[in-house]
Amino acid sequence: MTLNRLDTPAAVIDISRMENNIFLMQKRMREFGVKFRPHVKTTKCVEVVRAQIAAGANGITVSTLKEAEEFFAAGVVDILYAVGVDPSKLPRAMALKRKGCDLKLVVDNATAAVAVAQFACQHNVDFEIWIEVDTDGHRSGITPEEDALLEVGRILRDAKINVGGVMTHAGSSYELNTPEALQALAEQERAGCVRAAQRLREIDVPCAGVSVGSTPTAIATQNLDGVTEVRAGVYVLFDLVMYNVGVCACDDIALSVLTTVIGHQPEKAWAILDAGWMAMSRDRGTSKQSHDFGYGLPCTLDGTPLSDYVLSGANQEHGILSPIKLESTKESDAQDVRTRFPIGTKLRIFPNHACATGAQFPEYHALAATGELTIWRRFHGW
């Protein structure tokens, strides 16, 4: 099977680009002397994660227990479940621990800490807990100077729960787009997390680990003093949001959606594609960035961007490809769309957000430099 004969829409991973992305991030972290724990929620794909581990990753980060279960079954033992644990999910977490999974759970509040401590005591299970720190106000976690941090630390310490460390995720990095701003946020993320660890150690909570990361801050950081590990997810494939943030080039984007031209609206200079939002996802992450790529950036079959066109609209199974300068849509352009993109033309679309687009597909088609395609299964659900 070759790319031009593949049924469309299909999610294509360029293996060379992916391996280059993996290599560069791992090299960077090795040079800093810290461990790297990739976030596998981006791909939910065993083949991708094996490549990350082969390159030197120390364990993985997951966003659901389903991911933990699937990757443990595939042989990964060291797993950080990086979403504050819902106490009603503790039996599932315990089942994984008892099978030998080195599963680390996260809490960011006293109620969850008490629930974990009680459950651990009742069931005699040795949970390792990490405390989530909020270093940029974008989501979850306890800010480093809050009393609640020490309260959670004391609850776990007094219950003799193994506290593995503190972790934070400066997700607001996605809203930035200059090296200076990214470096400043990376330093804020580092300093806040190190400070939280220090405060916990002062009250005799061991807290050996200090885990930070997001793709933009991992790439921008100049200093990781006190940090023991970095986490990042989307770096493995990159996407148009990351391109706008400024942490990758277009040529680094390893995920694209293969699609076919199925119609035209010549008066509007539209080509209709068989990749709608069901294929691209509804993610419009570039809509508020410096360059709005609509539902994606079209490319030729060999991956060359068509920078004068955009996937401007999407219905469930229809995408609308249209010229960027709408004011220039004249009869000449209208002719052009039919001759330039005849029915049956195959295109590839770079997505706004690799995590969201991948989630629309049950599998990736992994494209080798030789042109050979291999199916890599992707799971979904919780």
Binding status of residue 92 toward its own copies by CB under 8 A: yes
Nearest-angstrom CA–CA distance, 143 and 300:
47
Binding status of residue 85 toward its own copies by CB under 8 A: yes
The residue from 318, 329, 334, 374 that contacts its own copies (CB under 8 A) is 318
Binding status of residue 336 toward its own copies by CB under 8 A: no
Q: Smallest distance from the beta carbon of 283 to its own copies, in angstroms?
A: 4
Contact 377, 45 (CB under 8 A): yes
Closest CA to 281 of 167, 184, 359: 359
Binding status of residue 334 toward its own copies by CB under 8 A: no
Binding status of residue 86 toward its own copies by CB under 8 A: yes
What is the distance, to the nearest Å, from the Cα of residue 73 to the centroid of all Cα atoms in its chain?
21
Binding status of residue 47 toward its own copies by CB under 8 A: no
The residue from 27, 99, 282, 291 that contacts its own copies (CB under 8 A) is 282
Binding status of residue 164 toward its own copies by CB under 8 A: no
The residue from 277, 341, 350, 364 that contacts its own copies (CB under 8 A) is 277
Nearest-angstrom CA–CA distance, 77 and 290:
41
Contact 148, 200 (CB under 8 A): no
Question: CB under 8 A: which stretch of 1-9, 16-24, 53-61, 152-160 binds its own copies?
Answer: 1-9
Amino acid making up residue 336? D
The residue from 10, 133, 207, 255 that contacts its own copies (CB under 8 A) is 10
SS3 category, 38: coil
Q: Smallest distance from the beta carbon of 138 to its own copies, in angstroms?
A: 8
Number of residues engaging its own copies in binding (CB under 8 A) = 58
Position of tokens 């694209």?
256
Nearer to its own copies (CB atom), residue 141 or residue 165: 141
How many other C-beta atoms are found inside a 10 Å radius of the C-beta of residue 302?
7
Binding status of residue 134 toward its own copies by CB under 8 A: yes
Binding status of residue 73 toward its own copies by CB under 8 A: no
Torsion angle in degrees (nearest 10) through CA of 134, 210, 23, 30: 140
Residues whose CB is less than 8 angstroms from the CB of residue 133 and which lie 6 or more positions away in sequence, other chains included: 108, 141, 142, 143, 144, 149, 166, 167, 168, 192, 193, 196
Residues forming contacts to its own copies in the complex (CB under 8 A) are 5, 7-10, 41, 63-64, 83-89, 92, 108-109, 111-112, 115, 134, 139-140, 171, 260, 262-265, 272, 274, 277-279, 281-284, 315-318, 320, 342-344, 353, 355-356, 359-363, 380-382
